[in-house]
Amino acid sequence: MPLPSADEILIDAGRAARRHGRAALCQIVRTEGSTPGKVGWKLVLAPDGVCRGNLGGGAFEALVVADARLKLSEPSPRPELKRYYLTEEAVKGEPTGMVCGGLADVLLEIVTLKPQLVICGGGPVGQALAANGELCGFELLVVEDREEFRDPELFPEGARFVEVTRDYRQPFLSDARGRLHVVVVTRCWETDLAALVSVLRQEPADLGYLGVMGSRRKVQRIRMELEEQGFDLEAVDLHGPIGLPIGGETPGEIAVSILAELIRIRRAEPGAAGAPSEAAAPALETG
């Protein structure tokens, strides 16, 4: 059976990332001396342990796979260039126990899905969030009960839509993969509450951000309602009011402030994670 091509390996990496949220891609980028694998050979490892591709086999490939498995377990993995000596001993790098006598430098990197921006509410702020979110590299999912606000003409090409009822009881995150950033900007506090309840009930595995737009008074009321329904907000980093304090008033300005907060948290700048913003979006609050 012929070995998969480089293009096929990259396609497999994307498929594994879509299915599992991430995959490890290993590529030989440099060799010296005698080696079983050559520059450009690739292997992809999925979190379920399935491998595809070839680095030359033997103890060398087994060590690379073991290292890739460890990297998959890291919360924020960074690309790593690792050297393997195809000898019984090595001064620097990883000895494989093989006797080829050469060495191979392997780039280990984790392929992940684009971060997903889940926008509950397709009104003016939701539309502005989608437009700016696309520019910031987010995959877009719009959740809305009103048909006129699920119109693809109002949103960037490629945005996905989920139809829900006004109580948001549908499991609208069931097909979501990767790191989720959920922003609740519906038309009133009752639908905001319903969307938040639905998110918390679904318990997404990789929730990077959960926030709701509105004044401090409105957010406090929503927090009280959530606690009365039995949700432990000590275990949930619920942001609200959302957005950095840039003085925005229009839907576009408010969207920029919200995305600025998302980016700050996503990039893990000191003091960003877990710090509620001082900004609100009272201009578009409806209840």
Residue-wise pLDDT for 6-17, tens only, equals: 888 888 888 888
Instruction: Kindly report, as residue ranges, where domains of CATH 3.40.50.720 are found in the chain.
Output: 116-284
In CATH terms, 116-284 corresponds, of 3.40.50.300, 3.40.50.720, 3.40.50.970, 3.40.30.10, to 3.40.50.720
Rounded to whole angstroms, what are the CA distances from 189 to 214, 221, 284?
A: 8, 9, 12
Burial 206-234 (b: 16+ CB within 10 A, else e): ebbbbbbbbeeebbeebbebbeeeebeee
Instruction: Render pLDDT for 57-66 as a digit per residue (tens, 0 to 9).
Output: 888 999 999 9
Of all residues in the chain, what percent carry a pLDDT higher than 90? 62
Q: Encode pLDDT of 210-226 as tens digits.
A: 999 999 999 999 999 99
The one-letter amino acid at 54: N
185 vs 1, higher pLDDT: 185
Amino acid at residue number 96: T
Tokens 């979110």: give the residue.
133
